[in-house]
Amino acid sequence: MDVGRLRADTPGCARVAHLNNAGAALPPRPVLEAVTGHLELEATIGGYEAAEQEKDAIEHFYDAIAGLIGARADEIAYVENATRAWDMAFYAIPFAEGDRILTTSGEYSSNAIAYRQVAAAKGARVEVVPDGPDGAISLPALEAELAKGGVRLVSLNHVPTHNGLVNPAAEVGRLCGDHGVLYLLDACQSVGQLAVDVREIGCDMLSATGRKFLRGPRGTGFLYVRREIVPTLEPPFLDLHAAAWRAPDYVPRPDARRFETWERFVAGQLGLAAAAGYAAALGMDEIEKRVTALAAALRAGLAARPGTSVLDRGTHRSGIVTFTVDGHEPQAIRRIAREHGINVNVSNPAAHGYDPDAVPAAVRASVHYYNTEEELDRLLAALP
């Protein structure tokens, strides 16, 4: 990987050591140009006219995202963020009284809130599958729960926001397949940093955001729904794009675009397509290798410092590194890093409500392939 060229292609690299890629990564120039170019076109010739002129490029979005995750174009929906993409799939599932929803301790709180809401409205039951010894979902425990029957949905995140681990998504997929149970994967933190292939994973639905490791614009995301189950999922909201109005009734679209709305951030959609193409051209395997290596180097550097604790769990680890420094609040460390031109974040305990091992707050440094070893050293040197 030609890191020098990739950094030259990333305007932000000249200004800051950006270690907040799990928050929002720095977009590369082609993404920036796709967004600003379309905003300018809209301002120059009119929004509808600009969309008409860029019709093919907008249509290419579906191929670009499908290509990145091993899906088919008709299985992709463009949604304004990962939360809404996930919601459109989750709230489309026809839950019944007593249905079991299985999730993990590292679940994202927005998803946990949705489970509770559906549990209250439909009488479904939410159950947290125990962790294995390394902190990831326990596959034997999951298998035992599936064997008891009554499971309507297995739903978890691929990479939690806060503890550095990667869940065994494909092994979970095999178990769900064996038991014929729906599988929803929140891939918000994995798409763009790990090679994600929906057929290999075996998920029925997958949500992701644009701005994190994918390096797309803020306010963008997408949903994948397996072609065979699209007809079984009626989205909670439908507009005249998602369904055809045939007075006095309507017919939902046959493809995944039933999960979309007509009105959208078109410039963002073009930017997200550019981001997907950029990642695919670099190669997701290469990206994963470099992100994993940089994160391992940072953990080793942190672990060697007295008074610094690396909190990450999992046998398979992501580009998200969490740590604390004795006697210093995570927010203070974030401020100190900022003063040194380094962006890190503080993980928010309210984002991962079920986790029994979560500390009240930790510094989160999340690396991307365009970061350098020198930037990691700068962070280590800046820490109190």
Ligand X SMILES: *Cc1c(COP(=O)(O)O)cnc(C)c1O
Cα 35 from Cα 29, distance rounded (Å): 10
**299 close to 55: Cβ distance less than 8 angstroms:** no
> Least distance to ligand X from the beta carbon of 96, Å?
26
Span near ligand X by CB under 6 A; candidates 3-11, 51-59, 185-193, 265-273: 185-193
Cα 357 from Cα 48, distance rounded (Å): 51
Q: Which is nearer to ligand X, 83 or 322 (CB)?
A: 83
> Least distance to ligand X from the beta carbon of 55, Å?
26
Cα 151 from Cα 241, distance rounded (Å): 33
> Least distance to ligand X from the beta carbon of 207, Å?
7
With b for 16 or more beta-carbon neighbours within 10 A and e for fewer, the 297-316 pattern comes to ebbebbeeeeebebbbbbee
> Least distance to ligand X from the beta carbon of 2, Å?
29
Q: Does 209 bind ligand X (CB under 6 A)?
A: yes
Q: Does 167 bind ligand X (CB under 6 A)?
A: no
Q: Which is nearer to ligand X, 153 or 383 (CB)?
A: 153
Residue 367 exposure: Cα atoms within 13 Å on the Cβ side: 29
Cα 238 from Cα 252, distance rounded (Å): 8
Q: Which is nearer to ligand X, 93 or 159 (CB)?
A: 159
Alpha-helical (H) ranges within 91-180 are 109-122, 139-147, 169-179
Q: Which of 10, 21, 81, 104 binds ligand X (CB under 6 A)?
A: 81
Q: Does 157 bind ligand X (CB under 6 A)?
A: yes
Q: Does 161 bind ligand X (CB under 6 A)?
A: yes
Q: Which is nearer to ligand X, 138 or 167 (CB)?
A: 167
Q: Does 189 bind ligand X (CB under 6 A)?
A: yes
With b for 16 or more beta-carbon neighbours within 10 A and e for fewer, the 105-144 pattern comes to bbbbeebbebbeebeeeeebbbebbebbeebbbbbeebbe
Closest by alpha carbon to 214, among 236, 230, 190?
190
Q: Which of 83, 167, 261, 318 binds ligand X (CB under 6 A)?
A: 83
CB proximity list for 369: less than 8 A, separation 6 or greater: 1, 3, 6, 282, 286, 287, 290, 291, 294
Q: Which of 99, 131, 145, 186 binds ligand X (CB under 6 A)?
A: 186
Closest by alpha carbon to 216, among 372, 381, 32, 78?
32
Cα 372 from Cα 33, distance rounded (Å): 24
Q: Which of 108, 259, 265, 370 binds ligand X (CB under 6 A)?
A: 108
Q: Which is nearer to ligand X, 23 or 67 (CB)?
A: 23
Q: Does 188 bind ligand X (CB under 6 A)?
A: yes
> Least distance to ligand X from the beta carbon of 210, Å?
7
Q: Does 217 bind ligand X (CB under 6 A)?
A: no
> Least distance to ligand X from the beta carbon of 382, Å?
25
CB proximity list for 66: less than 8 A, separation 6 or greater: 72, 73, 75, 76
> Least distance to ligand X from the beta carbon of 161, Å?
4
Q: Does 221 bind ligand X (CB under 6 A)?
A: yes
Which structure tokens are listed for 220? 């963008």
Q: What is the 3-state secondary structure (H, E, C) of 277-295?
A: HHHHHHCHHHHHHHHHHHH
> Least distance to ligand X from the beta carbon of 350, Å?
13
> Least distance to ligand X from the beta carbon of 157, Å?
4
Q: Which is nearer to ligand X, 327 or 356 (CB)?
A: 356
Q: Which is nearer to ligand X, 145 or 186 (CB)?
A: 186
Q: Which is nearer to ligand X, 209 or 343 (CB)?
A: 209
Binding site for ligand X (CB under 6 A): 81-83, 108, 157, 161, 186, 188-189, 209, 221
